[in-house]
Amino acid sequence: MPRPARRLPDPRAMIVAPQPEAVEAGAAMLRAGGSAVDALLACAFTQGVVDPMMCGIGGLGVIQVFDPRTGRTSVIDGLSTCPAACAPAMWQADFQRECSDGYGYILGSRANEIGHRAVTTPGILRLFAEAHAEWGRGPWSSLMAPAIAFAEEGWIVRPHVSAMWTMDESGYGRLSYADKLRFTPEGRALYTRPDGTPKKPGETVRNPALAASLGLVARDGAEALYTGSLADSILADMRAHDGLLSAADLAGFRPRRVEPLLVSYRGYTISLPPPPAGGIVVAEMLRILEHFDLVAMGHNSAEYIRVLAEAMKIAGRDRDEHIGDPAFMPPPLERLLSDDYAAACAARIRAGEKASLTRLGGDSKHTTTISCVDGDGLVASMTHTLGVPSGVIPPGTGFMLNGAMNWYDPRPGRAGSIAPGKKRFSSMTPAIVFQDGRPVMTLGAPGGAWIGIAVLQALLNVLDWGMTMQEAVMAPRFSATSDSIDISNRIPRAVEKQVAAMGYGVRRNYHSFPFAAVHGITLFDGRIEGGADPQRDGYAEGVA
């Protein structure tokens, strides 16, 4: 029988995110005439309600926007900063070791991971305000309406939320999510059962205090958190528990507007956020891999895995050595992205040399992402996070504050060391791809240091292999964030044995976390298609 004709109208706009409630909020905003940025922000506010350990108004993030009216692509960096009370050596004597997976640093006191001294200056809400002021169409207060409704009426615990809440982090050296959920009386009341265990799939979470906080933000704007009543609540809690964050830290924070990092790849232009965000890692890998005929190797063949893994290790090593806050340490981007350096790296890979990457420092895999395109051609992509959640919910506010001090190296004199006002490198990489000056793809991923290598593979799957966006994000992936290679359980064991025979340590993973979770949209030939990584609970929704 012939295939049935398509009966759904082609969408003129689309949003994709890992949480179904957030996609619902964003799609409703598009249908109401909102811009891609309006939809993205409505989605993001809702994510903070229904994925409360991943993100929220106490967090940080990066957004990239292409505006067809001006032809300009902009990046706004809302990554958090160390409080002014910090000092480079303040935790040096308490330092024990790095986490075994490289995501943070272990102190004997755990003060950088849980509690009030773990909190950095949150940047995300002023980022939201700046993005809305430039690209929003609807009223500011409308952005919070879906989130307020979910907080008041409740949302059900989804499979991925439950998996994260119950995940054992002790093998990495970190405290568990359950410890963070239980840290405050507010957290215990919101997110745990009577026996202290996290709520299970299908159970409901209602958060009227968060609804009230979002109502203040809707009425008073972002300043509610930086100089208003929410700031008062945060600062009172900080004073009561010896926190580092001050009124001056909150009032003085400003997001940075920066030029995107542009790199060419096989005739396309990839636009990425520059340091301290993670675009440099993707850019460097693409520059190296352009020297290889990847298709001739076969998708996910042993040789393909070897070549990509070496590019991943080289970019990871360079990142650890050179990339921090550009305001404190200007990165050598010109050299790292030069033709000569890319060619030399490719030559070493071709000769069979193995790069050494014993440890990859980085940020938390506890992030989330959104990509959106509207009917006018505005393209927006954002990744945001709480970092390593601090567990701190200031009384009466309903939202958790970030714990991003865990990202900073307690040892002075390093690219990621502590310093007042300093930002830490973040792997977050919301990306936009252009062909002949027109956007043809936008994508991003949650997943810490795995973000860049997951975004890379999705890019290659579309640009080299011709996959659809959904095919690209569903295809089995692998990662090299150390000298060993993690491979998906969907990569055949015969390939695993071939890679091991090349002298690599290979770890087969049954779970998703080493491979991040890419979500994106393509716009080739004027047709919008979305892809949502099935590791998470979300989807792509088109609006006709």
Coil, helix or strand at residue 65 = strand
Which of 391, 404, 410, 366 minimizes the C-alpha distance to 105?
Answer: 410
CB 57 within 8 Å of CB 48: yes
Burial of 544 (0-12, 13-18, 19+ CB in 10 A): exposed
Which of 252, 269, 271, 253 minimizes the C-alpha distance to 261?
Answer: 271
**Which region, left, alpha or beta, applies to residue 449 given φ > 0 means left and ψ of -120 to 50 means alpha?**
alpha
In this structure, what DSSP letter does residue 121 have? B
Element (DSSP H or E) covering residue 178? helix 177-181
What per-residue string of b and e applies to 283-292 under the rule 16 or more CB within 10 Å gives b? bbbbbbbebb
Q: Given the DSSP bridges, would you call strands 484-488 and 505-509 parallel, antiparallel or unpaired? A: parallel
Element (DSSP H or E) covering residue 98? strand 95-98
Bridge partners (DSSP) listed for residue 506 = 485
Token pair recorded at residue 513: 């976390």
Cα(235)–Cα(134) distance, integer angstroms: 30
Which of 463, 531, 425, 419 minimizes the C-alpha distance to 267?
Answer: 463
The answer to whether the peptide bond before residue 276 is cis (omega within 30 degrees of 0) is yes
468 is catalytic: no
Find the catalytic residue in 46, 73, 367, 481: 367
Cα(336)–Cα(318) distance, integer angstroms: 8
Residue 192 φ then ψ, to 5°: -120, 160
Cα(249)–Cα(392) distance, integer angstroms: 17
Q: Given the DSSP bridges, would you call strands 204-205 and 155-156 parallel, antiparallel or unpaired? A: antiparallel
Cα(369)–Cα(385) distance, integer angstroms: 9
| Residue corresponding to tokens 């992402």 | 369
Burial of 351 (0-12, 13-18, 19+ CB in 10 A): exposed
Sequence letter at residue 183: F
List active site positions.
367
